[in-house]
């Protein structure tokens, strides 16, 4: 029961991070491994499966506003589909330890990237700014 509650809390945190700032999805597989006890291969597949539904909902929402450049989607899809197939085959072929090292390296590199960029211009603050997803 406690594991289920912890997984729900972690899923909520990851969902809020993804919704607010577009990051966090990479946190789901380790949470499913360490808290849920899933094999890393299954945890990564479960994370991707859950992101599929949020992607469909997001696509529908943006499509209704005509804010999707479908020609660009075709060009991106031409690279994304083969890369997704390669990633799925790699996930199945590589041992879990190697995948965990790759995932940790990816998370570390992504975490260090903002420290190498120029600071953003000052944004006017509002009283609710700490609670806002859109700044």
pTM equals 0.64
Q: How many domains does the chain have?
A: 1
Would you place residue 122 in the very low, low, confident or very high pLDDT band (cuts 50, 70, 90)?
low
The tokens 């075709």 sit on which residue? 74
In a domain, 45, yes or no: yes
In a domain, 66, yes or no: yes
Give DSSP secondary structure letters for 109-135. HHHHGGGGSPPPPP----TTGGG-S--
In a domain, 106, yes or no: no
Name the residue range of residue 29's domain. 24-101
In a domain, 115, yes or no: no
In a domain, 11, yes or no: no
In a domain, 84, yes or no: yes
Lowest average pLDDT, out of 16-25, 55-64, 75-84, goes to: 16-25
In a domain, 4, yes or no: no
d(CA 132, CA 109): 26
In a domain, 71, yes or no: yes
């Amino acid at each position: 029961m406690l594991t289920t509650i912890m997984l729900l809390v972690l899923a909520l945190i990851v969902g809020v991070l993804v919704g607010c700032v577009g990051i966090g999805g990479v946190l789901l597989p380790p949470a499913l491994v360490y808290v849920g006890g899933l094999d890393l291969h299954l945890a990564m597949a479960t994370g991707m499966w859950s992101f599929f539904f949020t992607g469909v909902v997001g696509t529908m929402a943006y499509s209704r506003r005509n804010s999707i450049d479908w020609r660009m989607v075709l060009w991106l899809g031409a690279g994304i589909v083969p890369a997704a197939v390669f990633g799925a085959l790699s996930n199945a072929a590589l041992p879990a330890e190697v995948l965990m090292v790759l995932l940790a390296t990816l998370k570390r590199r992504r975490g260090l990237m903002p420290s190498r960029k120029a600071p953003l211009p000052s944004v006017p603050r509002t009283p609710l700014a700490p609670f806002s997803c859109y700044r």
